[in-house]
Amino acid sequence: MVGSTAFAFGVMEVALRLLDQGTPQLYRPDPLTGYGLQPGVRGRWTQEGSSFVRINRSGYHDRDWSPLPTAGTLRIAVLGDSFTEALQVPESESWVRQLPAALAAVKPCPLLGASPGGAETLNFGVGGFGTGQSWLTWSRDARPLQPRLVLHAVYFENDLRDNLVGGSATAAAPTFHLRNGELVVDSSFRQRPDYRFRTSTLGRSASWLLAHSQVLQLLKQARDRLRPAAGAECPASGCSAFPLGTDGTRLYGASAGDLEPGWPVLEAILDRWNREARQAGSTLVVTSLTTPPQLWPDAAERRAQATRHKLDWMRPERRLGAFLASRSIPYLPLAPALQHQADDQKLVAHGFAGQRPGPGYGHWNRTGHAAAAKELARQLCALSPDAPP
């Protein structure tokens, strides 16, 4: 029986490998950021969108990088969460990968005046990361690669909570708070039982088996499909309810409510990051990505929701913009321009047709990534050519 089971297991393993049906085990424990991507992992991503994922040897969803920038090239380190990581689309179609070509297409682009070789982007995005984890990632991984421009992408719908105790997407991650006005990093997650198990010999062995066995990956995928998924309650044609979310009235309304503690922490992280970037000879630039309600395809419904709940869809952009202006940190928000495109050009940047919850929800699709790269390039090229040191 043992021999027969082992033989059957081996046949299934070979068959799945020939069909390349593995589901990537993407993440691993990380003592600095709590978790990160597993270097060298490859496989098919189908949870939202569809792409064949390859993680580079540095542990990020990008091509491999050279340690030093090429002479005459503007090296840009890009940091953020899942919108930057971009597992939902092929890596070549992510907004980070499209940005160099989009910059080259803007004529003139003073930002590239001293870079005849154009721009090079390094994608350090990791799903679920808050601004604090992105800052730590820059300190350890991006800074040694000597980027002249450090571009951080804020996603308002979770970044204000991700930095705080009790608000992070995962409990096994660092949190941040202020003590007497000074930023404090709390890395006590390393003592949590779940993190200690994942870093133990038994936990690492289980992770290795799951990473190298496509049969086990298939079984895990089958188990995961039994769990409630986003949009599972929707008809096959997709959801139609407006995606305001649980924090919508606080994020876009007059009162931030329990999101308010996240603002000073976010600002303190960016202030600290800006000072350290300058010391390293880099320039920090902040962009903010769009959210599903900001670009909801039904403009009339979006306006009706704003009236009903007394919302201002650009309120977080104005608040962050005022702070960054006080610190002379360049800020390039995407929502105002892309909302105009949603209204005038029928841009549908979020969500995937044929998948629940459907168009208008969730992450950017290919159209959204292309639109974001083009708009961000336009705004970057409007910066002073003296911005990068």
Confidence grade of residue 371 (pLDDT, cut at 50, 70, 90): very high
Asked whether the predicted pLDDT for residue 156 surpasses 70, the reply is yes
**Percentage of the chain surpassing pLDDT 90?**
75
Q: Nearest CA to 73 among 119, 107, 122, 110?
A: 119
Instruction: Tell me whether residue 142 is in a domain.
Output: yes
Asked whether the predicted pLDDT for residue 191 surpasses 50, the reply is yes
The sign of the torsion formed by the CA atoms of 267, 271, 276, 282 equals: positive
* Domain count for the chain: 1
User: For the domain that residue 130 is a member of, what is the CATH number?
Assistant: 3.40.50.1110
What pLDDT is stored for residue 3 in this prediction? 81
Confidence grade of residue 236 (pLDDT, cut at 50, 70, 90): confident
Instruction: Tell me whether residue 55 is in a domain.
Output: yes
Instruction: Tell me whether residue 8 is in a domain.
Output: no
Confidence grade of residue 165 (pLDDT, cut at 50, 70, 90): confident
Q: Nearest CA to 345 among 288, 299, 287?
A: 299
| Greater model confidence, 280 or 240 | 280
Where do the H-state alpha helices sit in 226-289? 248-252, 262-279
What pLDDT is stored for residue 25 in this prediction? 82
What pLDDT is stored for residue 331 in this prediction? 98
Asked whether the predicted pLDDT for residue 363 surpasses 80, the reply is yes
Give CA 2 to chain center in angstroms: 45
Instruction: Tell me whether residue 4 is in a domain.
Output: no
What pLDDT is stored for residue 225 in this prediction? 60
How many whole angstroms separate alpha carbon 76 and alpha carbon 100? Answer: 9
- Tell me the residue range of the domain where 173 lies: 24-223+232-381
Instruction: Tell me whether residue 14 is in a domain.
Output: no
At 220, the amino acid letter reads K
pTM of this structure: 0.92
Give the mean pLDDT of 202-207. Answer: 85
Instruction: Tell me whether residue 9 is in a domain.
Output: no
Share the mean pLDDT of the chain.
Answer: 91
Structure confidence by residue, pLDDT tens digits, 66-121: 999 999 999 999 999 999 999 999 999 999 999 999 999 999 999 999 899 999 99
Asked whether the predicted pLDDT for residue 18 surpasses 90, the reply is no
What pLDDT is stored for residue 47 in this prediction? 86
CB atoms within 10 A of CB 382: 13
| Greater model confidence, 18 or 270 | 270
Instruction: Tell me whether residue 188 is in a domain.
Output: yes
Confidence grade of residue 161 (pLDDT, cut at 50, 70, 90): very high
What pLDDT is stored for residue 389 in this prediction? 46
Instruction: Tell me whether residue 5 is in a domain.
Output: no
Asked whether the predicted pLDDT for residue 7 surpasses 90, the reply is no
> Can you list the pairs that 243-251 forms with residues at least 24 positions away whose Cβ atoms lie under 8 Å?
243/292, 243/293, 243/296, 243/360, 243/361, 244/293, 244/305, 244/309, 245/157, 245/292, 245/293, 247/157, 247/161, 248/293, 248/309, 248/311, 249/309, 249/311, 251/156, 251/157, 251/160, 251/315, 251/316
